[in-house]
Amino acid sequence: MSTLASFKSLSRAMVRGFLRDRGALFFTILFPLMFLVIFGGVFGNQTTSKADVIEVGTVQVLDQAKAGAGAELDKVMSITKSTDLKGALKKVEEGDAAAAVEQRGNEVIVHYSAADQVVSGTVRGTLNSIVQTANIAATGRPPVYELSVQQVEDDSTKAIQFFTPSLLGWALASAGVFGASQTLVTWRTKGILRRLRLSPAPISAVFGARVTVSVGIAMAQLVLFLAVARLPFFGLRLEDSWWMAIPLVVSGVLAFLSIGMVIGAWAKTQEAAQTVTQLVVLPMAFLGGSFFPIDASPGWMRAISYVFPLRYLNEGMLNVMTRGLGPGSALPQIAILLGISVVGGLVATRLFRWDDA
């Protein structure tokens, strides 16, 4: 049997096996797609959230800012008035408000909680700008410099733009790592690897078919995700360089397969392989930025995230699919993912064994 004939035969067998396995079909295709539908339905029409600020009593500089630039201020803050300082502080402490602002003479006091550093930092920065503007106005001198702020995304940018690439990355990582580790352990424990070794089919055809089928399934995931996200209900807009997601997906699949191969080559039982895979995939999903923006995380979490290949896949797809960056922006991520796949493949080769003996 020629290598090409073996490759085609094995590929057909693997595809049929995948389609017949309802569990694999559900967790590889339908389960991640369900998350996209839920996240897109709940958050899809949301844009950048506004910080809730309580104005306690009369805060003159804040009232002046609302009168002079109310429309711009409304984009970042939702201001409510109150006369109860104690109640306002309690709301801030419980997380129901980002800050409470009061004015005592010429002193503007911002009460905030350290629980949400991102939101409180935004509020403090905005209020500091308001106070500085009021100080300049009080001197009667025009400012030398003028600050102009522009949002990099237009006002139509929605959360679906970020959920689609990140949840797709999680789906690809789960399918790649779980699929490779479980397949390798199952084949070894059931003696399939031993029979393949003795069959006329070259080993290169066996692993080539496994990789080809995995890449094909990933392409199907990409098409389904984009088809669902681009429905009018969700409204995903793809940028001009979105097609670079294809080589990103391929390189990501290779990286995740190599990790799964390492786990499958090391583990002696399916239970061990499943446990280790979960210990790898779950932290990678959260620290790779699939469920929340990693840039909003503490510094130590951002530092750890660089260890996981999912971060590079998510970042690359976000750059070309929704941020409008050019094709070249994905090249560093592709190089890193391919490098991980090479290293993982070498480690898996060293750990690989045909049977449990």
Residue 77 sits in a domain of what CATH number? Answer: 3.40.190.10
Domain shared by 33 and 103, yes or no: no
For the cut 80, the answer to whether the pLDDT of residue 110 exceeds it is yes
What confidence score (pLDDT) does residue 158 get? 67
Domain shared by 172 and 315, yes or no: yes
Q: Among 111, 139, 167, give the residue marking a domain's end.
A: 139
Within a domain: residue 151?
no
Task: Kindly report which listed range (107-116, 139-148, 303-312) carries the lowest average pLDDT score.
Answer: 139-148
User: Measured between alpha carbons, how far is 201 from 2 in angstroms, rounded to an integer?
Assistant: 8
Domain shared by 263 and 311, yes or no: yes
Within a domain: residue 150?
no
Provide the edge-to-edge strand list for the sheet that holds 51-56. Answer: 77-82, 51-56, 99-104, 107-112
Within a domain: residue 282?
yes
- Whole-structure pTM value: 0.66
Within a domain: residue 21?
yes
Domain shared by 128 and 34, yes or no: no
For the cut 50, the answer to whether the pLDDT of residue 330 exceeds it is yes
Q: Among 91, 110, 139, give the residue marking a domain's end.
A: 139
Write the DSSP string, 201-251: S-HHHHHHHHHHHHHHHHHHHHHHHHHHHTSTTT-----TTGGGHHHHHHH
Higher pLDDT, residue 208 or 118: 208
User: Is residue 99 within a helix (H) or strand (E), and if so which, with residue range?
Assistant: strand 99-104
For the segment 217-224, the average pLDDT, to the nearest whole number, is 91
The CA R_g of the chain, rounded to the nearest whole Å, is: 26
Task: Kindly report which listed range (3-17, 53-67, 87-101, 155-169) carries the lowest average pLDDT score.
Answer: 3-17
For the cut 90, the answer to whether the pLDDT of residue 337 exceeds it is yes
Task: Kindly report which listed range (165-169, 188-192, 226-230, 335-339) carries the lowest average pLDDT score.
Answer: 188-192
* Beta-ladder partners of 80: 54
Closest Cα partner for 160 from 322, 329, 343, 277?
322
What confidence score (pLDDT) does residue 115 get? 56
What confidence score (pLDDT) does residue 79 get? 82
For the segment 10-24, the average pLDDT, to the nearest whole number, is 70
Residue type, 174: S
Domain shared by 26 and 171, yes or no: yes
Domain shared by 133 and 190, yes or no: no
pLDDT bin (cut points 50, 70, 90) of residue 353 is confident
Q: Hunting for tokens 């308001």 — which residue is that?
A: 130
The 3-state DSSP class for residue 111 equals strand
**Contact assessment for residue 88 and residue 82, using Cβ atoms and an 8 Å cutoff:** yes
Question: How many other β-carbons are positioned within 10 Å of the β-carbon of residue 144?
Answer: 6
Domain shared by 242 and 134, yes or no: no
Tokens standing for 301? Answer: 């979490």
For the cut 50, the answer to whether the pLDDT of residue 121 exceeds it is yes
Residue 102: exposure state from Cβ atoms within 10 A (0-12, 13-18, ≥19): buried
What confidence score (pLDDT) does residue 194 get? 80
Total count of domains within the chain? 2
User: Measured between alpha carbons, how far is 349 from 303 in angstroms, rounded to an integer?
Assistant: 29
Domain shared by 25 and 63, yes or no: no
Question: How many other β-carbons are positioned within 10 Å of the β-carbon of residue 272?
Answer: 14
Within a domain: residue 183?
yes
* Beta-ladder partners of 277: none
What confidence score (pLDDT) does residue 246 get? 95
Domain shared by 116 and 64, yes or no: yes
Which domain range does residue 82 map to? 51-139
User: Measured between alpha carbons, how far is 319 from 54 in angstroms, rounded to an integer?
Assistant: 36
What confidence score (pLDDT) does residue 233 get? 82
Domain shared by 217 and 347, yes or no: yes
> 207-222 burial, b if ≥16 CB within 10 A, otherwise e?
ebbbbbbbbebbeebb
Within a domain: residue 62?
yes
Domain shared by 22 and 73, yes or no: no
